[in-house]
Structure 1
């Protein structure tokens, strides 16, 4: 169990030079955008244009704030992605471009190396009280987008504030999330090879 605080995030230019990304976590430690197994990041998108290409990578994107993006992904129907829609999975090596629906947006992005890992991402709102969460991944990342939450697993617990992330390398099959009003993203990572 490791808490990654918002203050630990690393900022760097996009692979295609078109903007800036905020890297939350990457595996293995010290990996680059060319040799990671998985990578969790946020990006501020201030204008439309092409996405960076990531050969051999699967990715899922969610809009955190702003009016949203209209994505054009080769081989898929155009998709409008907003802060209310479900995260969208697509191949990182498919030519992809985005147009802003309104103003700038901030997005959350998980990428995994195809053939090594598979992932899923979902948005979870926790109202007053606690929510039980079943986990089926060998690793789980819990990104707290809004509010504050306490994550309880067995005899351990961790407190998350906005933009903090909890990284669990082994999951017991279920977690308890306690919050007054929080929005989290639950990302499961499973080894495939």
Structure 2
């Protein structure tokens, strides 16, 4: 079973710290909130400089998909994040401050709670183009163009989540491929 997750169906939700908005693409368990997800994938719009929200016991992968990028200070260490489509990992509970380089950005955010997923199934994030065989449990998000997965055509920010079946991705633009873990009996709703 394939679950379509169109961009047009997402609602903008203010960040915990009020510094931007996020649009959730998918989370596990289904319907989980910010305090009880095992993993969560979203698009975040960062419109102003300021601190990131703290997420205790959460690890993150951030990928800039629009804008010039950010100058981050993560736990006192400076990180220049100015290359689009290059995933960066960091801890969500380390104080992180952001200075935008040249206006707003949009980030693809993948977060997972330490201890809620085994280290063997920590989400993986890659940005690809071209043809790729995907395994079950994969989430695909078109970023800057179109993609097709199992007969479903995706426009920018549309997504699909694969169930147990394999599929082939044809990515005409940059596309995020996120390997996720779901229990074997998890419904895709």
Same fold (TM over 0.5): yes
Measure the CA separation in 1 of the matches of 2:102 and 2:35: 32
Equivalent residue in structure 2 for 1:183, among 151, 160, 174: 174
Deviations 1:77-98 (A, max 9, x none): 4222234352101111111111
Matched, 1:164 2:158: yes
Alpha-carbon contact 1:8-1:24 (below 8 Å) kept? no
Cα distance in 1 between the residues matched to 2:60 and 2:97: 14
Give the 3 Å change call, closer, same or farther, for CA 149–85 of structure 1 in structure 2.
closer
| 1:19 shift after superposition | 1.8
The structure with the largest strand share of the pair is: 1
1:146 Cα offset (Å): 1.8
Structure 1 CA distance for aligned equivalents of residues 32 and 47 of structure 2? 27
C-alpha separation in 2, matches of 1:81 and 1:17: 22
Deviations 1:62-108 (CA, angstroms, capped at 9, x unpaired): 00111001111117x42222343521011111111111111111111
Distance of 1:8 and 1:91 partners within structure 2: 29
Tell me, in whole angstroms, the C-alpha distance in 2 between the residues paired with 1:84 and 1:13: 23
Mapping for residues 89-100 of structure 1, pairs under 5 Å: 89-100=89-100
Distance in structure 2 (CA, Å) of the matches to 1:36 and 1:47:
26
User: Secondary structure, in 3 states, of the residue corresponding to 2:12?
Assistant: strand
Q: TM-score, normalised by structure 2?
A: 0.85
**Equivalents in 2 of 1:162, 1:119: separation in Å?**
22
Paired with 2:95 and 2:133, the residues of 1 have a C-alpha distance of 35
Where does 1:13-52 land on structure 2 (aligned, <5 Å)? 13-52=14-53
Structure 2 counterpart of 1:119: 123
1:140 is matched with 138
Q: TM-score, normalised by structure 1?
A: 0.84
SS in structure 2 of the partner of residue 7 of structure 1:
helix
Count of aligned pairs between the two proteins: 178
Please report how far the alpha carbon of residue 171 of structure 1 lies from its aligned counterpart in structure 2 after TM superposition.
4.6
RMSD: 2.0
